[in-house]
Amino acid sequence: MFKVIKMQGKARRGVFTCAHGGQVQTPVFMNVGTQAAIKGGVSALDLKEQLGTQIELSNTYHLHLRPGDDVVRQLGGLHRFMRWDGPILTDSGGFQVFSLAGLRKISEEGVTFASHLDGHRIFMGPEESMRIQSNLGSDIAMAFDECVENPAPYDYAKASCERTLRWLARCKAEHDRLNALPDTINPRQMLFGINQGATYADLRIWHMQQIAKIDCDGYAIGGLAVGEPTEVMYDIIDAVEPHMPADKPRYLMGVGTPSNIIEGVARGVDFFDCVMPARNARHGKLFTWSGTLNIKNAKYKLDESPIDPECSCPVCRSFSRAYLRHLFTAEEMLAMRLAVMHNLYFYNKLTQRIRDSIDEGCFDAFRETYSKKLAERV
């Protein structure tokens, strides 16, 4: 269930409820734990107790390969497996499957591809994706879709949109069937449809109008942030948003930078996810309220200040820039853990401050202050 409780322009302040974790306050950034863990040595307990995480995201493709969705089901579902009692969204696996360009074959039924682990052949279609996600027991299942490469020829993008629409209808039917089974791990699992259409506004609009006719619990904009200019991404969001159901959550998949999130909220988006905060952290690139910094730089060798004096995360409360730089220089595992914790806390705090600004009627001022500033280098 989703309810918009306040708006400022197109920016929406909402509340989302699902089977686990009570109420989720939106806009929200979902922390990406692809294989039921955050890369960098961060556990579900860290997410819950220290970092302010509301929703965790895991990946269908990777968990299907290992440990196997059947194994997760036997162990009581993903929540119990990873000891996370909040909401979980599972990606359908479509993006990963379609990134295996030289290892896959697409048909109307689905996709046959080679495992990136050992090369064995796997088939995944709409029904298979729904069954895997049902076995995982996530709160939100994503529809199986085709994410076309960028740039994509118009005719191919159009045919792909039409196929993804047919796949969504099959996802919906199978999802409803699985939720009705007596032994389903999470019978209250929700289904989000995904808008595609490459960078063609007319295809995007047509596809959104069509998938909105299929009664999903939310809708995502997929296939962006894959190499197109940022302004093109914003233009596509602007084109699609008027055709997205106003009473359902809107999810911009795989996006993005702090500035992208602020600009996405300004265009009516509610949910975000991205590997960027954890991935950048593992390379020493940290987000602060003054912009981004590279903690490996020599200028931090004797710097006893926290990563960000404005941050109250566990890392900034306890450790200095000099210490964190030393950990990276010495290639200590702790470096990645502390850096990832800081960046995830920052992203979660960012969306909290966005929510507060909408509540207080000052989102426009927040956007003016931080949209460009957070993209600068310290």
Residues annotated as catalytic are 91, 273
Q: How far apart are CA 57 and CA 91, in angstroms?
A: 7
Q: How far apart are CA 373 and CA 368, in angstroms?
A: 9
Q: For residues 377 and 292, is the Cβ–Cβ distance under 8 A?
A: yes
**Distance, CA of 13 to chain centre:** 18
Phi-psi region of 216 (alpha: psi -120 to 50; beta: other; left: phi over 0): beta
Q: How far apart are CA 87 and CA 210, in angstroms?
A: 28
Q: How far apart are CA 42 and CA 64, in angstroms?
A: 21
Q: For residues 316 and 21, is the Cβ–Cβ distance under 8 A?
A: no
Distances (CA, A) of 73 to 122, 178, 304, 325: 20, 14, 47, 42
Q: For residues 172 and 191, is the Cβ–Cβ distance under 8 A?
A: yes
Phi, psi of 55 (to 5 degrees): -130, 135
The residue to which tokens 């591809």 are assigned: 113
